[in-house]
Amino acid sequence: MILFIDTHDELITIGLKKGEDIYIKEKLSESSHSIYTMPMIEEIFKDSNSDIKDLKKIIVVNGPGSFTGIRIGLSIAKTIAYALKIDINSISSLTAYLVSNNNGKKRKAVIKDSKGYYIGAFDEDNKPLMDEYYSYEDNLNLPCVEKKLSINKIIEYCKDMPSENPHHVKANYVKTIEVKYDK
């Protein structure tokens, strides 16, 4: 079984692939990810009549996105992977959108925040065209994918990735932190 955790945005998405079946839970949450995420994981195991001890892998979205949301999803995923001694892979939210919306063309994923845009782009074969980056304008002239996820496509994309050490799974902030201070 493979558990998918995405808390990078207002929509929390939890998925569980058990054999050929996929179970999905989603919940809109502006600022209560810490309240909803673990109960959603418990529900998905209950709904699928599964035991968390049978997990073989976790895939977690590591951002960019909500600072707190990302930290919650990563903390849960890393803790479960470490405790059960199972494989873990992280995937960026931009890559998750691009993989989910593969239409055989060069394309970009864009996540807008209050000041600019997080941008990622893939070619026809799901290979990155460049490193993900932050820009104050969206000037990459490629078709933009929808902000929707296909857990099946994401699991397929991650299937051959080497497992990461849970202690080394980190948030993907893309944008540098801006700090102003007076001397």
Give the predicted TM-score (pTM) of the model.
0.93
List the domains of the chain with CATH numbers.
Answer: 2-96+149-168 (3.30.420.40)
Calculate mean pLDDT across residues 83-95.
Answer: 97
Q: 6-56: per-residue pLDDT in tens?
A: 999 999 999 999 999 999 999 999 889 999 999 999 999 999 999 999 999
pLDDT band with cut points at 50, 70 and 90 for residue 181: low
E-strand spans in the chain?
2-6, 11-18, 21-28, 57-61, 87-91, 107-112, 117-122, 133-135
Q: Burial letters for 76-87: b for 16+ Cβ neighbours within 10 Å, e otherwise?
A: bbbebbeebebb
Please give the pLDDT value at position 174.
72
